[in-house]
Amino acid sequence: MKLSNILFTAALWSLFMSNTSAQENKMVINADQGTQTISKHIYGQFSEHLGHCIYGGIWVGENSSIPNTRGIRNDVVEALKRINIPNLRWPGGCFADEYHWMDGIGPRENRPKMVNTHWGSVVEDNSFGTHEFLDLCEQLNCEPYICGNVGSGTVEEMSKWVEYITFDGESPMAKLRQQNGREKPWKVKFWGVGNENWGCGGNMKADYYADLYLRFSTYCRNYGENKLFKIAGGPNVDDYNWTETLMQKAGNRMNGVSLHYYVVPNDWKDKGSATQFDENEYYRTIGKAYFMQELVEKHSAVMDKYDPQKKIALMPDEWGAWYNVEPGTNPGFLFQQNTMRDAIIAGVTLNIFNQHCDRVKMSNIAQMVNVLQAMILTDNEKMVLTPTYWVFDLYKVHQEATMLPMILSSNKCENNGKVMDAVNSSASIDADGKMHITLVNIDLSNEQIVSCDIKGHRVSKVSGQILTSPQVNDHNTFDKPNTVKPSDFKGVKMDKQNLSVKLPPKSVVMLELE
């Protein structure tokens, strides 16, 4: 064939592909090639003594007119049980490295008060402490994830906390626990050794923290059958040197390393409004959510050098969107609304974690109630579920399912030179043989058609749910709690092993294939 003909043919093919991709996204799912399990702990939550997360959001006290069980709100517990939260991180956050656990045990009237210097300089009365938190986890049927104090605490203090909680035998700490009403120890697996020690947890250097981690973690003992999963305080965003140092110096003594990254639309001085934003700010925000992909891949690459078998988990235990607080609220309480934009952020991020479940074994969105990208907002006896809550409800089908490899050729969205995939997805198959595909269309204006070829799995039935809304800044309020809520999805057709899916603009979809 002449060169001119080859070039002409290539040009025609390029034109065909460009025209095709403008209309249709191509996806291939290899349903018989899955080898990795999506840990349920990717869908973890985070509660800190910050604003009204604990007080008012979770804890109201036994004498409250709000229905409660031993002081813990019944409505919040029931809502969280619906989405099968697997673990809950506490007491912080920055608060963890100024929290002294013995202030939060014993009769509440005798517990010392303190000033919460990190969050609003309000009085912390310590009425919600270790016993109350572990009661909450038992009510939720979830795993506790306790973050110990390295920044202002001591090795002895942390060691005694582990003993107080988990030791079943004769010792001063076990006796103290029994005196405070708990005869048998609790089972606590996940233990964080410090929080953000590069910042609010002590402004440390990586080398120094690595040495401290080795020292503190040595005295976090395994008592009886309780085996601690020890989590090192990991990097801030793209500090790959921090990860390298930790892996090199302490990798053989830890089970996981944390990662913190927040999506901030503008800058930290003026982060942007949670509800008032234009198209440019929307795409800039979603572009920053996609940055999680690069962070996971690059930190994983560093970890692979020292841990090629991927025994150590990468754990983004603080992630989510961070905006300016709602007008008229305490700046230190970090209360913000939650829109369809936040649902898109959550859907994109969780799909990224699912796709990298060989290394990402846990994550914790910040935070569970009334703070940052919350699941739930409360106002005295009122409660509302946010769009982000509904994403977690749709995605719970992935918990402990087998991740399915996929190839996705997506159309692009471009805004101010930033190009990103219009469609983001992950897929899994559960123990009952049901396949689930979660898809996000980040495009504000255009429907995205996805042609999906299922290989290695027979499909006879497909159904789905969708989360979307007319405006991307739509949100749920106490007066209008159902503005953004899932509904049945009708935009999918099946022809043998091929699916054709019509994703409306700004939508999150979950498909179930049987």
Enzyme catalytic residues: 196, 318
Q: How far apart are CA 166 and CA 228, in angstroms?
A: 10
Contact 319, 366 (CB under 8 A): yes
The rounded distance, in Å, linking the Cα atoms of 83 and 371 is: 18
Instruction: Report long-range pairs for 470-474 (Cβ below 8 Å, ≥24 apart).
Output: 471/340, 472/282, 472/339, 472/340, 472/341, 472/344, 472/444, 472/506, 473/275, 473/276, 473/277, 473/339, 473/340, 473/341, 474/339, 474/340, 474/387
**CB hemisphere CA count around 213 (13 angstroms):** 37
Measure the CA–CA gap between 12 and 241, rounded to whole angstroms. 47
CA distances from 225 to 146, 166, 187, 230, 414 (A): 18, 9, 9, 15, 53
214 near 250, Cβ under 8 Å?
yes
Query: Sign (positive/negative) of CA torsion 138, 163, 219, 132?
Result: positive
Q: Which pair of structure tokens corresponds to residue 104?
A: 């939060």
Exposure class string for 323-337: b at 16+ Cβ within 10 A, else e: bbbeeeeeebbbbbb
- Write out the E strands in 9-168: 24-30, 44-46, 68-69, 72-73, 87-90, 114-116, 122-124, 143-148
